Homo-oligomer: A and B are copies of this chain.
């Protein structure tokens, strides 16, 4: 494929992502064509295919970058899964979902599903990375840790998503106070690597 460091490549990919984000704001995912993206990005349609297999791959990348941008510095650097880190993850996830539903026309169920899956996966990876950084408690093999991360990520994501349709939806503090103890208790001895 293309050389990811070539300045032309960097620029072209930025154009494509920006065009796509822009289009998502006024059109549903299904309604967006490759031609639309190429036109708005002022690149040739063939060039699009030099960088992305299709618009699903583009959605994947855009989602991932947006998630990375949303993760606070403290979480990215965290050495242990503390209550503070947990809170930040909950809030960041919630904010991501809110922004996402506000900015994108959601006529497409397929897109919502894809983004759901992607974000859950990113969350789980982020959590697993933190778990693996701490000293592992006795008997915690890598496999078991990844399951714990998967459950934790799913729980956080599920709760944050559910919170969209709740009366108290603006009370993110309530959300945090509900999710944090659930997750931390569920983790039990795994959380700090000091159990």
Interface set, chain A 128-165, CB cutoff 8 A to B: none
A42 to B8, CA, bound (A): 9
A10 to B11, CA, bound (A): 14
Within 8 Å CB of A43, what residues of B?
Answer: 7
Chain A residues bordering chain B, tally (CB within 8 A): 6
Of chain B, the residue at the smallest CB distance from A42 is B7
Task: State how many copies of this chain the complex holds.
Answer: 2
Of chain B, the residue at the smallest CB distance from A43 is B7
Within 8 Å CB of A7, what residues of B?
Answer: 42-44
Interface set, chain A 11-44, CB cutoff 8 A to B: 11, 42-44
A11 to B7, CA, bound (A): 14
Of chain B, the residue at the smallest CB distance from A15 is B11
Within 8 Å CB of A11, what residues of B?
Answer: 42
Would you list the 3 A-B pairs with minimal beta carbon distance, nearest first? Answer: A7-B42, A11-B42, A7-B43
Ordered by A's residue number, 5 sampled pairs between the chains whose C-beta atoms are within 8 Å are: A7-B42, A7-B43, A7-B44, A10-B42, A11-B42
